[in-house]
Structure 1
Amino acid sequence: PAPPPPPARRPAVAVELVHNYSLLHDDIVDADERRRGRPAAWAAFGAGQAILAGDALTALAVRQLAEVPGEAGRRAVAVLVGAMEALVCGQAADTALEHIDPDEVTFGHYFDATPKTTALMGACAETGALLGGADAELAAALRQAVAAFGLAWQISNDVDDIWADPARTGKGVFGDLRAGKRTIPVIAALRSGTEEGSRLRSLLLRNGPVPAVREERELRAMADLVEAAGGRRYAEALAERHVGEAVDGLGSALPPSVVRDELTGLFRRLVRTD
């Protein structure tokens, strides 16, 4: 008979299914027509079909872990469902970032939205550890380390959205600026007390609380103001800090090993600020 699948397979499949459900719905919420250089599902097949596909992936994800017998399976289901709840709350806060007045938006508003990324990444580590036989303390420590990496990645992604080469990201530039979303670079620029930050505020206020379609020239001017006000530099430094927290967390949770080294290398490769 064939050997049983490794313990990490079911949680890996479950988390990947949830991840894809979140991307299907996220593209609809953000009206993003491209995903990795190709038409987004809703743009190709319609919003209704994309929503239903996401719902189906959610059910399949829970089933993956619900079929695992014993206490570890029940705990893994609870972790996944909790991460899904946090993801949805984070996404709601992320959507609200498009409408908060530039004079009122704070870093706290931004961090309210980050569970849209960090919750699921943390669940990757925690569910895999639980089904691999780790105790609750180690599983929680790994969740915290990977969640710190997730925060670093999200901040780095916000930087990419403004300044990265579209050929590398597979998405258009200025998506967040076009939507008027207050990401870390933008909030840091607005809170910088600089002339450039004040000019950025004026541009954000020009179209009222719901931004109109902005021309490419205006978007590029906004990106230049964010950088001149120190927003890019602040975001890159913050991403580096959280990568350091993630690496330190792995070092505290795991003994020296090839696996720990591979995870550390992965964290640093995926959060690039160059």
Structure 2
Amino acid sequence: MNETIETILKHKSIRKFQDKPLAEEQIRTIVECAKAASTSSFIQAYSIIGVKDQEKKQRLAEIAGSQNYVAANGHFFVFCADLYRHALIGEREGGDVKESIESTEKFMVAVIDAALAAQNAAIAAESMGLGICYIGGLRNNLEEVQNLLSTPERVIPLFGMAVGYPDQNPGMKPRLPFSHIYHEDRYEQDQENYLRQIGEYDHEIAAYYEERTGGKRHDTWSRQITGMLEKKSRMYMKAFVEKNKLNKR
């Protein structure tokens, strides 16, 4: 097993960072690694906004659900789906690109491109001894995030990433088993086996939470996820994306 694989397999979210900013060279390296990610048809439909202004970071922390590590970290990145530049070059080149840019397909491409770039950035940061935490809570109020970051139409902030020097060493949260994630040649639809595997995973997660909290939390993955899905959240998203002239067709 090489160092890259070891870094990936040791991933854990860090939610407490030392009060130490990243150096400019570290920020550039992380972004250059993000840029090296695969991109569909060379479209490069994403942008990254680094947030240093402490007042903006504090407001983003509040938007994200009062997650203090959004404000207290070494550096905060916001990854955006971005088809703004493509509209501009289409106009400059005299091409009729509007329908394509507003299609669901191109919106999916932009989201996937941003996610691929972000995971490259995460691995790069962790390989440098830094910790990271993805922040989806920015989507609680994207209109305010847009105003804070001055993003134009056709640019959607998707999620943040807090990066910094870890000031904690949490345990690794168990993932779904290999046999449940990986299918060969066809999607396995044996529901009895499917639910049995989830039941085994529920036991593993319950033990993890009990150990992590000293017996204070009694929960399973199934119960946790069902409770989360029962709560309708961010239901404004479709209208918001369409208002920004994406995913309309």
Same topology, TM > 0.5: no
Q: Give the TM-score band, short-chain normalised.
A: under 0.3
Give the TM-score of the pair, scaled to structure 2: 0.28
Give the TM-score of the pair, scaled to structure 1: 0.26
